[in-house]
Chain A
Amino acid sequence: MVSLALEGVEARYGRKQILTDASTPEIEGGMLTALVGANAAGKSTLFRRIAGQLRGAGRVRLSGAEAGDLRYMPQDTAMSAALTVYESIILALKQGTGGWRLSPRELAAVDAVLHRFGIDHLAQRQLPELSGGQRQSVSIAQTLVTRPKLVLMDEPTSALDLYRQYEVLEALRRYAEETGAVVILALHDLNQVMRACTTTLALAEGRILATGPTLEVLTPALIRRLYGIDSRVERCSRGCPMMIVDGPAPHPPGQQVGT
């Protein structure tokens, strides 16, 4: 099993400090972990710091996997090269290798990931012809084709319709289960988080406020602190937890509550 822990991780853009002393307990693989926080809380920066694209103080401790086993899917899914979807996934698979030829096993891996995310039918389409949602599905397939053990995805469902959101989250959950990978998803829909993610990391102003089981982290108090929204977390008639929004809290997001 793979696990990830952060120890006092920091990151800055130029002089601007974005992440401050981000620490977490051990985040276990094999299930989905959510990263929640308001816009500009530092979610993408945290991902890029873990992915090694940014440097800074602190330690990213990964056990059960090599650093090369990490894949990060950025939020921006624009892709305009004259390539087919199939070729673009081959590209992700062959990155970092020198060989030009593809083995039957590699082609099978491409086929498998297309199938896993329900985009078989897009295989021969050109990238510029795809809709936003289709591009997002292709991005997800590109990210997972190498079967990475640590996956960081920045809003992987933001352009998908309701059915595809469910389908993709379910596929990601199964992927984590099968491979034991640590899969962290930055998500905005807290109901989605409650349904799909076992663990949640909450980030505000570059600091990690809480890490733990989703329902213990996502309390009305924390949601108010993160988003400035008054809400309740209740059980639906079938017993599943749900967040109900009551309205904006007196304090807008980003403002320190209680100071």
Chain B
Amino acid sequence: MSAVTTNSTSHALDYRAGVARRLAILLSLTGLLVLSVAVDVSLGPARYPLGDVFRTIFAPGAAELQMRVVIWDIRMPMALLAVTVGASLSLAGAQMQTILANPLASPFTLGLSAAASFGAAMAMVLGVALFPAAVELMVPLNAFAMAMAASLLIFGLSTLRGVTVETIVLLGIALVFTFNAALALMQYFASEQALAAVVFWTMGSLTKATWGKVAVTAAILLVCTPLFARRAWALTAIRLGETRAAAMGVPVRRLRLEALLLVSLLAAVPVAFVGTIGFIGIVGPHVARLLLGEDQRFFLPGAMLSGAVILSATSVLSKAILPGAVLPIGIITALVGVPFFAALILTKGRKSW
């Protein structure tokens, strides 16, 4: 009997140790994020000494005007938008993968990015504003409206009887092709100037960051995260399979619909602001899964943090590769991220998918 007791407590101890290890990982990711944001703010076409940069951040009143503008109005919004957008896209991807039981699900692969690009192109090429009241914001608003329409279409179809997870994923892929074709058609007829604008937009860029965009994306994260957190156990259970989750009393269908709605919002807004940054929604969650497993208590914050770290680090890279120039971030995420990602999966491949 004593052997049994020792054995039992050792499992609880192992569990506690596992929790501590994962909390440490989350803490390290947070540290990494802070570091990356600091580097991001200090880097840029204009070179300022690191000390001056921090003085400007913490005591903006004392800094000279030009530096204050560069740091506060340009670099800080950009660096923070990388964080909120990275976290949003990664969280959206994580929960899409969870509820659709598909490792490839992401805002990009389900057609949300393609729809947003189409919406943006409508504004840039045709000058069509889906919300005529705010013409100056017609590019992000169009992009948002189309992304939301695409995800609501997927959402609506998934409420139909007999629609399985596979159907939803296939439908998403069909949407990608449809919107890409429509976009190509528009580009074919576009003026040279509009064409350049569309191409640049679809590459994804943080350079048009403002405090307003940071606030909107942060607010959406603040609304969605607790809603997911409250369903952490149910969302983890869904990964065991639909029948098993249902057997545990999880209302699978309702949970899937609720999550899909939140995910639509989480993905559509960032995409409207920064264009196509496809990679984060797939890699962020996978990195978090490899580091932390799929217990949503850790996976949920982990996915957000890893997405934020990746996009923030990419933002640093996009400035560091060509000194004096800021490369479109969507290109860097794919170019640098893909080999890194492949190495990660191949070396630490768990059989979880």
On A, residues with C-beta under 8 Å from B are 51, 53, 68, 71-74, 76-84, 86-88, 90-92, 94-98, 100, 102, 104, 107-108, 110-112, 114-115, 120, 123-124, 126-129, 139, 142-143
Contacts and interface: CB of A to CB of B under 8 A. Distances in A.
B293 interface: yes
Contacts of A110: 11-12
A244 to B, nearest CB: 36
A124 B234 contact: no
A91 B246 contact: no
30 contacts: A68-B249, A74-B244, A78-B241, A79-B244, A80-B239, A80-B241, A81-B294, A81-B352, A82-B350, A84-B293, A86-B15, A91-B237, A91-B248, A92-B248, A95-B248, A95-B250, A97-B233, A98-B230, A100-B297, A102-B15, A107-B12, A108-B8, A110-B12, A111-B8, A111-B12, A112-B8, A114-B8, A123-B14, A126-B351, A142-B244
Interface residues of B, number: 34
A97 B324 CA distance: 53
Contact of A71 (B8, B239, B247): B247
A108 B15 CA distance: 12
B7 interface: yes
B240 interface: yes
Interface in B272-321: 289, 293-295, 297
Contacts of A102: 15
B351 A128 contact: yes
B263 to A, nearest CB: 19
B12 A96 contact: no
A100 B248 contact: no
A118 to B, nearest CB: 11
Contacts of A84: 18, 293
B58 interface: no
Nearest to B232: A100
A135 to B, nearest CB: 10
B188 interface: no
B4 A72 contact: no
Interface in B222-277: 230, 232-234, 236-237, 239-241, 243-244, 246-250
Contact of B233 (A68, A91, A127, A129): A91
B232 A76 contact: no
A182 B156 CA distance: 41
Nearest to A78: B241
A88 B233 CA distance: 10
Nearest to A71: B247
A28 B241 CA distance: 32
Contacts of B248: 71, 91-92, 95, 142
A126 B350 CA distance: 9
B297 A79 contact: no
A87 B293 contact: yes
Contacts of A92: 237, 248
Contacts of B351: 80, 126, 128-129
A79 B240 contact: yes
B236 A91 contact: yes
Contacts of B241: 76, 78-80
Nearest to A126: B350
A171 B116 CA distance: 57
Contacts of A98: 230
Contacts of A126: 350-352
Contacts of A82: 289, 293-294, 350, 352
Contacts of A143: 247
A120 B9 CA distance: 11
Given A83-B293, A128-B352, A123 B246 contact: no
A53 B289 CA distance: 31
B187 to A, nearest CB: 41
A74 B247 contact: yes
B295 A114 contact: no
B243 A76 contact: yes
A88 B241 CA distance: 12
Interface string B1-21: 000100111011011001000
Contacts of A96: 233, 249
A166 B35 CA distance: 58
A86 B249 contact: no
Given A81-B352, A87-B295, A127-B240, 5 more contacts: A86-B15, A87-B15, A111-B12, A124-B11, A128-B351
Interface in B142-181: none
B11 A120 contact: yes
- In the A-B complex, list the 7 residue pairs whose CB atoms are closest, starting with the nearest: A111-B8, A82-B352, A81-B239, A128-B351, A107-B12, A74-B243, A82-B294
Interface in B196-242: 230, 232-234, 236-237, 239-241
A223 B297 CA distance: 50
Given A53-B246, A79-B241, A91-B237, A124 B14 contact: yes
A110 B10 CA distance: 12
Contacts of B18: 84
A84 B18 CA distance: 10
Nearest to B5: A111
A90 B295 CA distance: 10
A44 to B, nearest CB: 10
Contact of B247 (A73, A78, A86, A87): A73
